[in-house]
Structures are given as C-alpha cells and as structure tokens.
Structure 1
Amino acid sequence: MAEEGGAGPPPVRILRPESSVTSESLVQEKLIGAASIFADLLRPTYGPMGLDKMLYKSNGEASITNDGAKIVSELMVKHPTAKAFVSLGESQESAAGDGVTGCILFAGALMYEAGLLINKGLHPLVIVEGYREACNISMSKLDEIAFLYNDNELLNVAKTALTGKVTNTASENIAKLVIEAAKQIKTTSICDSENILMAKSPNNIPMSIELIKGLIIQKKLHLDRTPSDIKDCKVALVNGEVGIRSLTRDAEIEINSPEELSDFIESEEHEIENLSEKLIQLGINALFSSGEINKEILHKLLSKNIFALGGLSSLELDNLSKVTLAKACPVIDDISPDDLGLIGVLKTETINSNGETSQRILIDDCKDSKLITFDVGGSDDLVVEETIRAIHDSVKATFLTINSKELVLGGGNPHTLLSIKVREIADTKQGRERLGMEAFARALETIPATLAANAGKSSLDSVIELRSRLKNESANLGIGINGEIEEIESAREPKESLQHSINSASETVIGLLRVDQLISARGD
C-alpha cells in the first residue's frame, strides 16, 4: 500500500539510463525501412543489364563489382536488419555460390509488403503464418517445374552465372573451361568447388584464362640453376626437413680429441651422402618438402638435374599430394617407389613483384589430379579480381547442378510461376493469412520486375504481361536480356540455389517480423 501523502514506491529499472527502447509499430517501421534501403542498394546491380558498384576502403583499396556476395561482405553495417541481411547473403553464398542479390531483393520485398499490411492493421504473426504457407506452396511448385540437366544445359548454367560480369565472348570461353574442369574433377573426386583453385597470372593480356590440371606455387627458388622445364617427372614429397634430423631436446656431445671431431664430421657427411643417394636411387625428378632442404643435399640433387624446393606450407604440400597422388612421408628413409607421384609438366618462370624477384612453379598436365587451377590474367588487378569472382560463381553453380541434378529456367520465370500458384491457393483461403500469402506472391515478382526495370522497361507492365502470358501461352516465358518477354532458351540456374534463396529469405524475414522491441545499451 502506498504511503499516505506519497505517490507509491519508485519504479523498478532493469536497464541503464543511457539505454533506449524502441517498441511496437516504431520498431517494425525501423526494421522494414532498413530492409528496403539494403535491398535498394543492390537492386541496380541485378541481372544482365545491372550496373557495377565501386567499393572504396579506408586504406585506399578499391574494387569494382556487381557481385552481390562481394558487396555484402565489404559493407560496414550497424543496423540489426542490415546485419541479418549480411548473414543471409553469406548463407546463400556458402550454400549455392550465386544468387545472393536475388535472395536479398526477395527478402527486402517481403519486408516491404509486410510493412504495407502492418500499416493496415494486420498483426505480424498473421503475416508470418501466411508467409510460411506460401513458402511451402512455392517449394512444392518448384519441384514440379524443375527438370534434369544434360551437357548442353550444364553449359548454359555456367554461362548464366557469368552473365553481366564478363563479356559475351569471354562468357562462352570461360563456361567451356568451367565444364572441362568439372569433367576432370568428376572423374577423380567429388564435384566440390574447394577442388578449384584460382591464381593471378602476371601477364597483362585482357581475359587471359588458362586451365591448369594441377596447381601453381609462387616461391623463391634456392638456386638459379634449378631445372626450369621438366616433363613426365616423378615426384617425392617430404613432410619435414630434408637432411639430418634436428634433436627435439638440447644435447651436448663431448669430443676429447681432433680425431673424434673428424669422425663426427665424417659421420654427418656420410649421413648426408646416404640421404642424397637414397633420393637419387628413387629415380625422382622433383622433390618438395615442408621443411628446409640441407644445402649439400640440394647441390647434389641439382647436379643430377633434380628439381628441389623446400619451405612449403602444409596446405601447399597437401595440394601437391592431391595433384600428383604422391604420399607425403615424414622422413626420406620411409619413401618407397609406391609413394612417388607424377607430374606431366613442371615449369618455372621468374616474376618481379614490388621490386622482389620470385618464381612461379607451374605444375600442370597431372592426369589424375584432384585439383584444377584457373590461371587468370588481365589488364589490371581490379579486372582480374572481378573475373575470378565471376569464375567462382560459375563453378559453384555448375558443381551444384551436377550434385543436385535439377535446374529451373532463369529470367524471372520460376518466380512468376510460383507467384501464380501462391495466388491461386490464396484465393481459396477464408482467413486473414491469405493477405500474407498474396504479399508473398507480390514479393516473388520483384525479381522479374527488377530485371525489366534494369533493362529500361516498365516493371509493372512487364510483370502483368508476363503473368498473363504464362497463364495463357507458354510456361517457358521470362524476361530476356534486353528486358523483353520471350522464350527463355539458355538462362538456367540450379533448383537448389533458388530453393535455398526462397527458404532462407523467408526465414530471415519471419524472424525479423517477430521482433517487437529494439533495446540498445548504447543509446543510439
């Protein structure tokens, strides 16, 4: 009971005075506004006619790209919604390697449509229910319209992932190299993009791209007279030092006479001679090790025209093992002929970088290599980096198709078909959740709308016409490269990529719509 003449006990505070709390409609307005801004940032980059962004870092580095994953990863964001969208983009990139921009555009559209319904008085949880049901309908419809790939379709998948990132001529050439790499990897290992490596070539020829059935190592060679061109060579790998093994504990050797010193030196020389002879007797043409190579052993190997390189990282040695199929042994005495690998071509070339000289060791034409390297050259670093990102997207999309085996058309075709299906089922519903389902259908259509708008066409007219013609004419229509509605003949994408995009975007938005308070301990 309050004391007589008083106002009762003081309120209980659990937050610091400088904390701010945003609740109810205001928090939803902030979340939806941030989502729309984030999506609008990427919207102009989408599709074959999308524009590029220049990203400028505080340290002076710059990059030019329209790759959604690159843009999202480089942004310095602070708002909770923006952070959620960054995580969404990273999830899509990790799962599919492509489709990040489309995923974020769809999520932004879902948030925008939810905002319109909330302003009309619809409860967020009703919208969430409608979104979940619409997402399930979309997944079922996606299974219906998907089809199995063949070799021609696989080439189209590789080319579609490159659209808008490189020229049409380069797209054709790169796509063929990606397919060639996929066929090589498929015969020796699982189709995993981790088995594809990228290297920057020192040449300045625009769009100079070479497929290496092996890998490239950049190191400084120990001696200038190291062999620079070897074919059909046997290779040995040593996971450690090549020489007399160092003791793991401190030890002292007591020598009482010059004769004992002489015997000790002779013993070391004899050991080195034995190790050198052991390697030579194996008939190897190349030796790689993670540790240093004893100088005397190095000279003896070079005198026999044997390539030798030490100081490799564990990753480089592991990659060499995958390429050559050689077994990395801890000591020379453990190496047997069965542990040796094969290299088709081993070449070295000297390059100058920042005033320092080093060598590029090219390990190519390895018949059973489990790794493939794209050696990418260009007029400058910005172009090379963008080309590497484009190749990476193409590789991921191609490998995902090989592993999942199913495709859908591009050009906004599947999004519109899913939208039509969701609307059909929403019309049969009696409750308020149908409003959420209709909003989901409108959000799906943001993809063809953006493709048309970025090509200079009316997004509204294009979407209405596409929806009508898909119902009454061919089910293979979509937005073409120039923004016209036409039969989609070559644009293809993995079904799994679109499936993950719609699912992950829906779950992210549903999580944000369930938020009713923003609490900040910083007062901002």
Structure 2
Amino acid sequence: MVEDGGAGPPPVRILRPESSVTSESSVQDKLIGAASIFADLLRPTYGPMGLDKMLYKSNGEASITNDGAKIVSELMVKHPTAKAFVSLGESQESAAGDGVTGCILFAGALMYEAGLLISKGLHPLIIVEGYREACEVSMEELDKIGFHYNDDELLNVAKTALTGKVTDSASENIAKLVMEGLKQIKSTSICDSENVLMAKSPNNIPMSIELINGLVFEKKLHLDKTPSELRNCKVALINGEVGIRSLTRDSEIEINSPEELSGFIESEDKQIENLSKKLIELGINALFSTGEINKEILHKLLSEGIFALGGLSTQELENISKATQATKCPVIEDISTNELGIIGLLKTETVNSNGETTQRVLIKDCKNTELITFDVGGSNDLAVEETIRAIHDSVKATFLTFNTKELILGGGNPHILCSIKVREIADTKQGRERLGMEAFARALETIPATLAANAGKSSLDSVIELRSRLKNNSENLGIGANGEIEQIHFAREPKESLKHSINSATETVIGLLRVDQLISARGD
C-alpha cells in the first residue's frame, strides 16, 4: 500500500483550464444584470416622445433610428442573455412587425423583478410558477378587453404604428396609403404583408411616397431598342431559358460532311424562328424569364417593339406573376393566350447609383394585382430607410389587425388593466407563487411608466394615478403622447401583437430563470 501523505487523488477535470463555470446566485446576477442593461439601452427610444439611436457600423455606415427591431438586429452581442433578447425581438418582429421595444422592456422588467425576489431567498422555480399563472391571467384579460375594428379604427392602427417615426402630417398620408394598399390586396388575395414590397425611389423630395399596384426592381438593360414605356400590354413569363432547350443528357452529334453541318445550323435557325414567331403571334408586348434569352430571339422581339428581359430571380418572376396574373411556363411551347397577364403601365427609368448606371423597371397599374409596392423617396438614404421601416411596421400592424379582427387601446391601457387583474388573482393565492404574480404585475406597469418618463413626467405618479382611475372603471384612460393621463381616442394596437409580446417575453425569461450554471469555453 502506497502512502499518499493524506493528499488524496488529484481532482478530475472535464473542462479545459481556460473554461469558467458560474453557479448559483452568481449566474442569476449575471443574467439579470445583462437583461437590465439590454432593456435600458432601448428604454429612451420607446413611445411617441422616444429619442433616436445613431448606429455606426465597423464599415463606416451609419443609420439613425428609434425602431427597436432595427437596433436589435444591428447589435453585435455575445452575452447569452443579450442573444436571448435579440431572438425575442426577432420573434416579435416576425410575428407582429411592431412592438419589439415594448416586448424587450417587459422582458427586462420581468428579469429585474425576479432578481429582487431571488435576493430575498425565493427559489427561481417558484417565480417561474407565478409568472406562468400571471401570463395566463393576462391572456384571458386581453381577450376580454379586445374589441372588433371598423375602418376608422384600422386607420388608427396604421397611424399608431407610425408614431414617433415620422411627422404627424406624413403619418396621416402614409396611413391612408397603407389602407388603400390593404383594400387592393384583400380584394384579390389573402391579406398577407408579405405581398407588400418596398422600393427606394431616386426622387429626392422628402417623404415622397407612391403606392404602386405592381412592383419595381432594378436591372441592367444593355440594348437601346428596349421600349421605355408600354401601356396595357400583354405579358408572358418563362421560368427558364428562352431558346432551344438543352439536352438533359450528354450527347454527341457526328457530322460527316459540310452539307450535314449546314443542315444542322439551318435546323437550329428554323427552331429559333418558330419560337420567335410563336411569341409574336401570341400578341405579347412583354416577356420576362429567369434564364437567358437567346440573342437572335431577343433581337427579333425588340424589332417588333416587344419588351424582353431575362436573368430574373425566381422570386422576381413570382412577384411579376402575382402582379399581372400571368402564369409561369417552363417553355415557350406551353404558352397560350390563357397564360398571359396584363400590365397597365410598363416603364423603365435610368438610375445612377454609386457610379453605376442601371434601369428601374416599373410594373404599374395592374388591375387584379396581389402585390403592391411602396416606392419611397427622400433627401438621403438614411431618411428613406427610416421611412421604409416605419411603413413596414404600419403595414404589419394593420394587416395583423385585419386578419385577427381584434384590437386594443394603446397608451399602456391594457398593461395596467392586466396588472390590476393579475394582482386581483394573486390576492386569492396562499402560496409563494403569489409573489411571482405580483412581480409580473409590476413588470407590466413598466410600459406606461416608460411612456410617462420619456415625455418628462413622473413615472411613479402616472402609474399610481392611472391604476387608481382604471380601477374605478375609467376604461379608456392611458398615457397620452404628452405624458398626461387622458382618454385614448386614437392609439390602437393589434390585440395579437400584445398577446405575442407578453407570452414570448414570459417564456424567454422563464428559460433564463431556470439556468443554474453558466459554462463559458472562453473563460469570461
């Protein structure tokens, strides 16, 4: 038997020496601290009086915005909590198109409130249980206070999503265009915001916005013979190359004499002639394809005054199909008059961008279009991009309301009502989970508190007064644009947007609260 001097066996290491492990209360402190910092980053941008952030990239590009989705997407984060919050923001943006900042503020408040309870000795799983129950109560309360819309209310939803992002006069104009686009799409197809495209116009007039019943894209047109404007034209779409079909298998043709070569060339020429003749006899005025167009066919079409453009992406061809109701055909032989679509106005514009000259192809005035485009101009790229983001948020919110049929008041009104209900249910609980429910209620009040604070008012006084007055059945009260408590006449939001925001924020926070160890391979 070998004496070891009482030293015992060496410790067993399963991690690399540079790895670090954070456990117990320390890990909660790290996660909660990161969540609070992330939420505080977005807090000043929230609401109609929110400020902007200037984002400066490593490549020198800069942008100015108060859009939560844009800010979150541009951040380069490495902390696990920050990454979870980025995913949360992306989820909210994908589901509702708006409400990203409010969603992250609420999640940050949930983490902060959980930190206070943990510091007092409450187990994280008790808090999780309380949060789950409170979330269910909030969902039920939102279903009760939600109401159906009319056209005026839908217009208010569009305006509310634009609040703080554009001027009041521009908000009115954009909201009306969004409603006009909604009416166009709902008359021909399922109302989907994916059928709304955005394009940058070369127009330098500030807030220059045109709603196009069709689409816009940029391509290089190399031939001067391409028509610059066509009206009421028939269009054919080819999902492939326009020319003689290539063989699918490798093959060789043996030619033994000049006569056979001449006959082979004549046969190809005749095929090209027949294909060109087929297109011309169809009476088309425009042809688009994903593949290249045979040069001889292209010249014949252009000589007949037919607009022909190849090399489009599959998505571009799909968009043209939606706009014109033309059927995508794999080969010319499959095209008949039934597969043709109609373009009200086909127009090209020359654009000089970054020293390169390209053409904008505008497909406009399509009567039965399933696709619309907002063509946005402005004094500079930063202004155009911010306007496009604002329109996108407005479109998503309006279309979501139209599809789900219900909306709620803005101004923090539903948050306080849910908070009151959660507290009411928490008072009936006898276990420790009631502490989690009360913390959830306080987190909900972060939204109206931030609206008031960003408008220069006392967040504490505003929340206490609003809660008191709403308890007395003053149901339409909320925080106005100036930070005062007032009747909410115009601020409207999709009910599903807030439900998704509260639900997804709660699930994200619950996932973080269940973490008991943080293992880092980098050692930080």
TM-score (norm 2): 0.97
Task: State the shift of 1:251 in Å.
Answer: 4.3
Residue 513 of structure 1 is matched in structure 2 by 513
Superposed, which structure 2 residues align to 1:401-416 within 5 Å? Answer: 401-416=401-416
Superposed, which structure 2 residues align to 1:144-155 within 5 Å? Answer: 144-155=144-155
SS at match of 2:58: coil
Could you give the per-residue CA deviations for residues 224-273 of structure 1, whole angstroms, max 9, x where no partner exists? 12111111111111122222223344544444444434333332222222
Superposed, which structure 2 residues align to 1:44-443 within 5 Å? Answer: 44-443=44-443
Whole-Å Cα distance in 1 between the matches of residues 447 and 491 of structure 2? 14
Whole-Å Cα distance in 1 between the matches of residues 4 and 179 of structure 2? 86
Task: State the shift of 1:217 in Å.
Answer: 2.2
Whole-Å Cα distance in 2 between the matches of residues 266 and 419 of structure 1? 82
SS at match of 1:188: coil
Whole-Å Cα distance in 2 between the matches of residues 298 and 430 of structure 1? 80
Task: State the shift of 1:495 in Å.
Answer: 0.6
Residue 28 of structure 1 is matched in structure 2 by 28
Whole-Å Cα distance in 2 between the matches of residues 66 and 404 of structure 1? 27
Deviates more, 1:458-467 or 1:316-325: 316-325
SS at match of 1:71: helix
Question: Structure 1 residues 8 and 159, CA, compared in 2 at 3 Å: closer, same or farther?
Answer: same
Whole-Å Cα distance in 2 between the matches of residues 254 and 27 of structure 1? 76
Question: Structure 1 residues 255 and 41, CA, compared in 2 at 3 Å: closer, same or farther?
Answer: same
Residue 493 of structure 2 is matched in structure 1 by 493
Instruction: Decide whether the 8 Å contact of 2:324 with 2:368 is kept in 1.
Output: yes
Could you give the per-residue CA deviations for residues 285-325 of structure 1, whole angstroms, max 9, x where no partner exists? 11111122222222221222111111111111111111111
Deviates more, 1:335-344 or 1:252-261: 252-261
Question: Structure 1 residues 225 and 14, CA, compared in 2 at 3 Å: closer, same or farther?
Answer: same
Question: Structure 1 residues 214 and 132, CA, compared in 2 at 3 Å: closer, same or farther?
Answer: same
SS at match of 2:187: helix
Instruction: Decide whether the 8 Å contact of 2:225 with 2:303 is kept in 1.
Output: no
> Could you tell me which amino acid in structure 2 is paired with residue 98 of structure 1?
D
Instruction: Decide whether the 8 Å contact of 1:2 with 1:8 is kept in 2.
Output: no
Structure 1: gaps spanning 5 or more residues = none
> Could you tell me which amino acid in structure 1 is paired with residue 142 of structure 2?
L
CA RMSD of aligned residues (A): 1.6
Whole-Å Cα distance in 2 between the matches of residues 256 and 21 of structure 1? 78
Could you give the per-residue CA deviations for residues 333-392 of structure 1, whole angstroms, max 9, x where no partner exists? 111111111111111111112222221111011111111111111111111111111111
Task: State the shift of 1:7 in Å.
Answer: 3.6
Structure 2: gaps spanning 5 or more residues = none
Whole-Å Cα distance in 1 between the matches of residues 10 and 264 of structure 2? 88
SS at match of 1:55: strand
Question: Structure 1 residues 507 and 256, CA, compared in 2 at 3 Å: closer, same or farther?
Answer: closer
Task: State the shift of 1:13 in Å.
Answer: 2.5
Task: State the shift of 1:283 in Å.
Answer: 0.8
> Could you tell me which amino acid in structure 2 is paired with residue 104 of structure 1?
I
Residue 475 of structure 2 is matched in structure 1 by 475
Deviates more, 1:512-521 or 1:45-54: 512-521
> Could you tell me which amino acid in structure 2 is paired with residue 309 of structure 1?
L
Residue 462 of structure 2 is matched in structure 1 by 462
Instruction: Decide whether the 8 Å contact of 1:412 with 1:447 is kept in 2.
Output: yes
Whole-Å Cα distance in 1 between the matches of residues 74 and 419 of structure 2? 32
SS at match of 1:456: coil
Task: State the shift of 1:163 in Å.
Answer: 0.5
> Could you tell me which amino acid in structure 2 is paired with residue 325 of structure 1?
Q
SS at match of 1:233: strand
> Could you tell me which amino acid in structure 2 is paired with residue 267 of structure 1?
S
Whole-Å Cα distance in 1 between the matches of residues 384 and 115 of structure 2? 41
> Could you tell me which amino acid in structure 2 is paired with residue 139 of structure 1?
M
Instruction: Decide whether the 8 Å contact of 1:23 with 1:517 is kept in 2.
Output: yes
Question: Structure 1 residues 266 and 485, CA, compared in 2 at 3 Å: closer, same or farther?
Answer: same
Instruction: Decide whether the 8 Å contact of 2:301 with 2:307 is kept in 1.
Output: yes
Whole-Å Cα distance in 1 between the matches of residues 9 and 324 of structure 2? 79
Task: State the shift of 1:429 in Å.
Answer: 2.1
> Could you tell me which amino acid in structure 2 is paired with residue 166 of structure 1?
V
TM-score (norm 1): 0.97
SS at match of 1:89: helix
> Could you tell me which amino acid in structure 2 is paired with residue 174 of structure 1?
I
SS at match of 1:496: helix
Whole-Å Cα distance in 1 between the matches of residues 263 and 80 of structure 2? 73
Instruction: Decide whether the 8 Å contact of 1:344 with 1:367 is kept in 2.
Output: yes
Instruction: Decide whether the 8 Å contact of 1:416 with 1:467 is kept in 2.
Output: yes
SS at match of 2:206: coil
SS at match of 1:308: strand
Task: State the shift of 1:192 in Å.
Answer: 1.3
Instruction: Decide whether the 8 Å contact of 1:2 with 1:9 is kept in 2.
Output: no
Task: State the shift of 1:101 in Å.
Answer: 0.4
Whole-Å Cα distance in 2 between the matches of residues 451 and 342 of structure 1? 49
